[in-house]
A and B are shown apart, each in its own frame.
Chain A
Amino acid sequence: MLAQLNELHAQSIERLNQSTATAELEAWYKETLGRKGSIYLLTRQVGGLSPEERPAFGKQINIVKNELQAAYDSRLAELKGSELQAQMKSSAIDVTLPGRPQPKGGLHIISQTMRDIYRIFGDMGFQIFRSPEVETDAYNFELLNFPPHHPAREMQDTFYTSDEDVILRTHTSPGQIRAMRAYYPEPVRVILPGMVYRNEQVNARSHLQFTQVEGLAVGEDISMADLKGTLTDFARRMFGAGRETRFRASYFPFTEPSAEMDVTCFVCEAKGCQLCKYTGWLEILGCGMVHPMVLRNGGYDPEKYTGFAFGLGPERITMLKYGITDIRHFWENDLRFLQQF
């Protein structure tokens, strides 16, 4: 009988392993472990054994029963898994089809560039100060050391208004005087972002309005070395850690000494390309030490205070970064342009 049980066990396991569908498995269960299954039938034959043999046989039959049950459970899980797998495979989709399009908003690319600038200078303690776009001649020129008829005025083509003392600011620099007058006698560390206007023809390279970000730091211990350090840090965060800067002498009426800062070209890694006109350098900003007269006009005694100022053009930086060659894109508000950023 024991041999019969063992054979049943072996045969059942074999059949179990041969079953390939859950339906087949159900049938196996009924025949093997079901209420009138072969194990049950074998149990019924226990009566034919001697009382000595019965406990051992009973124990064995239980072992076999449990083993078959476990084998069944595991086979069932296995088959269910593969059936689910097969079913999922048959309902596969083309994953290369496009997704359901979501309407997309976006910040204007100049707003994004502005935020980069705000963040970098914000980390260095520069706060944002805004001042009017329609300005007086005094704030835009005279207080910044541009006397009337000074040649430096020719560097900026000005839009005049029907009030002869009122113009559209040609740079964000008038904010220097306004910020100093607002904060005197505290140290000053501000950036002055905003729109400026020049009477220029609108073409790929020039526009009658563009944005600028001016920076101003005034205190009792600020030197040209601080200017170089601050702006080099800015250039590395804006254009990449490996950038080198070059400062060369320049001229702005409101700074002395004045400089232009160039950054090693980030397109060609300073090897020379069309963007940097094969010089390896990109002109990024103008800067200098605040002219004593400007400090005085802001309320700060140049004997006691020094300061530096700089001005940069977000459009130029953006154009360099993305290879944009036509400045008119910025204010045309064509979604095909704006939504790329």
Chain B
Amino acid sequence: MRVPLSWLKDYVDINLPVEEVDRLLTNAGLEVKSIDTIGLPGAELEWEADKVVLGQILKVEQHPNADRLVLATVEYGAEETEIVVTGAPNLFQYIGEGDLTDRQLYSAYALEGATLYDGHSEELKKAKLKGRSLRGVYNRSMLCSEKELGISDEHEGIIIIEKDENSPDYQAGTPLVELFGDVVLEIDIIPNIARCSSMVGVAREYAALTGQPVRYPSYDVLMEGPDANARVKVRTEDPELNPRFAALIIDGIERKPSPYWMQHRLRLAGQRPIGVVVDISNYVMLEMGQPNHTFDYDFLRRRADQYAPEGPIEIITRLPHEGETLVTLDGVTHKLQPHNILVTDPISNLSVGGVMGGADSEIKPETTSVLLEAAAWNFINIRKTATQLGIHTEAAFRFSRGVHPSQALLGAKRAAELLRRLAGGTVAQGIIDSYPLVPAAEPITLNATYVRRLSGLDLSTEEIATLLGRLEFDVQTADSEHLLVTAPDHRLDIEGAHDLVEEVCRMYGYGRIPSTALSDNLPPQRGNLALEQEERIKDILVQAGVQETIGVRLTSRAVEALMLPKGSAQDAEPKRYVTITNPNSPDRVVMRQTLMAGLLEATASNSRFQERIALFEVGPVFLVQEEQQLPNEQMRLALVMTGQRDLSSWQDGKAGLMDFFDLKGVLERLFSILHVDVSYEAAEHPSFRPGRTARVRVGKNVLGYMGELHPTVVEAYGIRTEPKQGVMAADFDLNGIISRIPALFPFKPIYHYPAVREDLALVVSADTAATEVEAVIKHVGGFLLQSVQLFDLYEGGQIAAGQKSLAYHLVFQSPSKTLTDSDVRRQRERILKQLEKQIGARLRE
């Protein structure tokens, strides 16, 4: 909300510098989002005291040589008056009116050399005022619009202030900065300070913070003429939804613009002046927070003639009938919902209560009598209605955050009195006031110990009472420890003692509360094993040269479907996803069920810039569960590797492209550090390339898959590859890994007896898996065999087709003696024999 300090000062004295006002309000929860300075030193456009002054317009004549220019005689406190040439359209009405001195017309007058904004420029452009001849008349000064002074965007005409009994004592020549220099604070109205959605509301907080009283506006109204209650009757069908409906009738209103001071304030507060009736309505809402609405009284009366020719107008607030519609004053037809509370008469509806008026009953240019309504509405109902109808008016904003019914009467009276004074109306005797539900003010018991427990402040009941009293709370002492506190009407946010503690803290100052270290009992320390292991896995992969990524967890079915080439078995099965019903992008509609798709998208975008890509992500996927409201958020680990094995350098040639075994090496490192004993077996998976895919298991349990991705998948994600460049990927159930990390594992002793190394070159059939060969060697080698390492794989040449050669380093060592040649020979022969017997292996010649 925009709060001009000049307006605020009507209700409270402000003597502190602006920075201090900002600090006080911000620390108390009224966050000042921005500060707009107008005319004063520090403003974007400073008004020089000797060059921009108040001028009085004494005479307006037609320019002798130009139809669209006038000559205005201006008195500005100097010895002689000055003639100003101007095209301001709002001066033409005074041509030929002769001497205007008694009309008391004032404007902003700028002398030669003053710096102003160029009123004809779209953006804010400063220019220095220079004298020049305009169609034969020399002009060296200017009457200004608000835009030229940086007050608002208004540039329809110059500022014209008609002095009246409500105006300050204007004197020509007074520096304008003294009269209209201002500061506008933009305050963020968060839900619990809805009470500050008005000048009085902000003034009340400022007054409490600085220990001053509030000067409330006068709510007196001069009523005369016939009795209003004989002319209008109000019936409330649902007091819960409409606790109060207050109304006054004002007759004989003159339709004209509102006075300059009101227009000026409205514009500073961000509202556009429209005419005196609407402006007063908005002004009262901004001033004291109660929204109000004016109906065309004559329209209501004409309708009443149909249902009660002799009787009063009947106003009924009710819920809609089935299928009822209403055209709001912006011309939109709304289909009403069962909860929309309406203001109606026996014939039809008139407005959506608290949200927006109807088109039929709105005031028209010829309207002279109005029914002024100020009501109270249920805030939740207003919120639902405003959201559902898509109407976000200033009134709906306030009502949907809560306005106390007590304010309705005050607002109605204030607006009626202003209509009387500024629009020449007569307020009919008597206030129509239907108030079926008076909220009960429940006192809250506040205990000094509780204040201390919650705030850490050691305050006496007297101190607490004083702090709350500044905010107009009614505080009674129950006993030495307890206070009975009743919140003022405007505090709808106070529900319990905890709310009062916040008020005590705000008034005492959050900054003055001490800072202490927690001294309460420490809970039992448990750690979070899953997270600790997860972090450890991330560290191991990072050390292996893989970069962690974090992807967007909202995706689309289409992006995930790219993982499964068309026609694959899984492709046919529709998946159930956690699906967003209000997405803001077609690409972000479901919660992901795989990490792979996001990683491949990242790989694709990186493939335009990187020669080597190695990425992993650890995170949840969201699997819909039968019979469960919430999905299974399964933690997974996925990796992608592609591109050059080594980064290119000035020194060596490239080491080639990464392949299956680069990825497998990273995985072996991971599982070896974790002491998870996994096995790899050839497998098929629709996302992976046939023949280069492995299933990774622990015992019988599958942890995931790894391999080279199917070229169709690589292409589908748009990953740029060189010829023969494969994209390696792996995808694991993370908890499957973590649950198999042993808490403890035995240390392997180091033996001191000499080790003997034996090489074994075997020929086996080409389809024999390396793990089978190794398994036999290890099994037969027994405890003497310390290690087995494949060091060569060879096919072709002397090796017959359909066969391959595998060569191993074997290391034998005994824990208890030095092995002899014959010991080793015996072991070697046993191994060979079993290899031949079990897998038909023979020694390579």
Contact = CB atoms under 8 A, between A and B. Distances in A.
A208 B541 CA distance: 28
B240 to A, nearest CB: 14
A149 B384 contact: yes
A225 B549 contact: no
B549 A108 contact: yes
Given A163-B629, A250-B190, A257-B455, A107 B582 contact: no
A249 B506 contact: yes
Nearest to B380: A149
Nearest to A107: B548
A330 B598 CA distance: 14
A225 B455 contact: yes
Contacts of B501: 256-257, 289
A336 to B, nearest CB: 6
B626 interface: no
Contacts of A187: 520-523
B191 A152 contact: yes
A233 B454 CA distance: 20
Contacts of B551: 331, 333
Interface string B583-606: 111001001000000100010011
Contact of B400 (A98, A151, A232): A151
B545 A233 contact: no
A98 B515 contact: no
A19 interface: no
B554 A209 contact: yes
- If over half of A's interface residues share one DSSP class (helix, strand or loop), that class is named, otherwise mixed; here it is mixed
A226 interface: yes
A133 interface: yes
Contact of A134 (B539, B542, B582, B630): B630
Interface in A163-217: 163, 165-166, 168, 183, 186-189, 195, 197, 199-202, 208-209, 217
Contacts of A247: 510-511, 513
A133 to B, nearest CB: 6
Nearest to A114: B535
Interface stretch (B79-87, B301-309, B524-532): B524-532
Contacts of A209: 552-554
A14 interface: no
A256 B499 CA distance: 6
A57 interface: no
A110 interface: yes
Contacts of B218: none
B733 interface: no
Interface stretch (A64-72, A81-89, A121-129, A317-325): A121-129
A247 B509 CA distance: 9
Nearest to B645: A103
A229 interface: yes
A230 B517 contact: yes
Nearest to B541: A105
Nearest to A289: B454
A257 B525 contact: no
Contacts of A98: 649-650
B820 interface: no
A194 to B, nearest CB: 9
B699 to A, nearest CB: 28
Given A159-B582, A199-B584, A248-B510, A257 B454 contact: yes
A165 B2 CA distance: 38
A183 B523 contact: yes
Contacts of B538: 107, 111
Contacts of A335: 547, 606, 609-610, 613, 615
A295 B629 CA distance: 25
A103 B591 contact: no
B66 interface: no
A132 B29 CA distance: 32
A115 B350 CA distance: 60
B633 A133 contact: yes
A44 B244 CA distance: 140
Most buried by A among B384, B455, B502: B502
A162 interface: yes
B439 to A, nearest CB: 18
A226 B517 contact: yes
Given A257-B505, A332-B605, A251 B584 contact: no
Interface string B603-638: 001100110111100001010000001110100000
Interface string B453-485: 111110000000000000000000000000000
Contacts of B549: 108, 333, 338
Contacts of B651: 100
A125 B612 CA distance: 42
Contact of A106 (B455, B525, B542): B542
A283 to B, nearest CB: 9
Contact of B515 (A132, A163, A225): A225
Contact of A105 (B380, B525, B543): B543
A161 B646 contact: no
A251 B498 contact: no
B607 to A, nearest CB: 10
A136 interface: yes
A226 B456 contact: yes
Contact of B547 (A100, A105, A129, A166): A105
B769 interface: no
Interface in B414-444: none
A129 B613 contact: no
B145 to A, nearest CB: 31
B762 to A, nearest CB: 34
A248 B622 contact: no
Contacts of B646: 101, 103
A161 B578 contact: yes
B686 to A, nearest CB: 25
A228 interface: yes
Contacts of B615: 333, 335
A11 interface: no
Given A149-B383, A187-B521, A208-B554, A168 B580 contact: yes
Contacts of B816: none
A187 B526 CA distance: 13
B649 A226 contact: no
B519 interface: yes
Contacts of B606: 333-335
B210 interface: no
Nearest to A288: B502
Nearest to A200: B584
A104 B647 CA distance: 10
Contacts of A332: 602, 605
B361 interface: no
A327 interface: no
A97 B650 contact: yes
A302 B454 CA distance: 10
A330 to B, nearest CB: 7
B550 A115 contact: no
A199 B580 CA distance: 10
Interface string A242-273: 00001111110100111110000000000000
A251 B193 contact: yes
Interface string B355-391: 0000000000000000000000001100110000000
Given A103-B614, A160-B582, A186-B523, 13 more contacts: A103-B646, A134-B630, A160-B581, A161-B579, A163-B629, A168-B580, A208-B554, A209-B554, A224-B455, A247-B510, A250-B29, A335-B547, A338-B549
The 10 closest A-B pairs by CB, nearest first: A225-B456, A249-B29, A223-B456, A257-B502, A219-B520, A103-B545, A333-B602, A101-B647, A105-B542, A229-B515
Interface of B: 26-29, 31, 190-194, 379-380, 383-384, 400-401, 452-457, 496, 498-499, 501-502, 505-506, 510-511, 513-528, 531, 535, 538-539, 541-554, 578-585, 588, 591, 598, 602, 605-606, 609-610, 612-615, 620, 622, 629-631, 633, 646-652
16 contacts: A100-B649, A105-B543, A125-B525, A133-B622, A134-B622, A149-B384, A162-B579, A162-B581, A186-B523, A209-B552, A229-B515, A229-B516, A233-B517, A247-B510, A257-B502, A335-B615
